Amino acid sequence: MRDYREIAATSEPYDAIVSIGMAEHVGRERLPDYFTAAHRALKPGGVLLNQAIAEDIVARPGNSEDSFIDHYVFPDGDIPPLPIMLRAAERSGFEIRDVENPREHYALTLRHWLRRLEEHHDQALRFVDEATYRVWRLYIAGAAHGFHRGCIAVHQTLFAKLNPSGQTKLPLTRDDWCARQPTMLGVMEINFL
Structural domain includes residue 126: no
Structural domain includes residue 59: yes
Element (H, E) at 153: strand 152-160
Structural domain containing residue 40: 4-101+150-191
Structural domain includes residue 186: yes
Per-residue pLDDT 10s for the chain (193 aa) are 667 777 765 578 888 999 998 888 888 899 999 999 999 999 999 999 999 999 875 555 555 566 766 666 777 777 888 999 999 999 999 999 999 999 999 999 999 999 999 999 999 999 999 999 999 999 999 999 999 998 889 999 999 999 988 888 787 777 777 665 555 444 454 544 4
Q: Which residues contact 157 (CB under 8 A, 6 or more apart)?
A: 49, 50, 51, 52, 82, 85, 86, 89, 96, 98, 99, 100
Structural domain includes residue 178: yes
Structural domain includes residue 112: no
What pLDDT is attached to residue 61? 52
Strands (E), 5-124: 14-20, 42-55, 95-100
What pLDDT is attached to residue 180? 58
What pLDDT is attached to residue 192? 46
Structural domain includes residue 40: yes
The CATH number linked to 39 is: 3.40.50.150
Looking at the structure of the chain, the number of domains it has is 1
Structural domain includes residue 8: yes
Structural domain includes residue 69: yes
What pLDDT is attached to residue 33? 93
What pLDDT is attached to residue 27? 85
- Whole-model pTM over 0.95: no
What pLDDT is attached to residue 123? 97
What pLDDT is attached to residue 78? 78
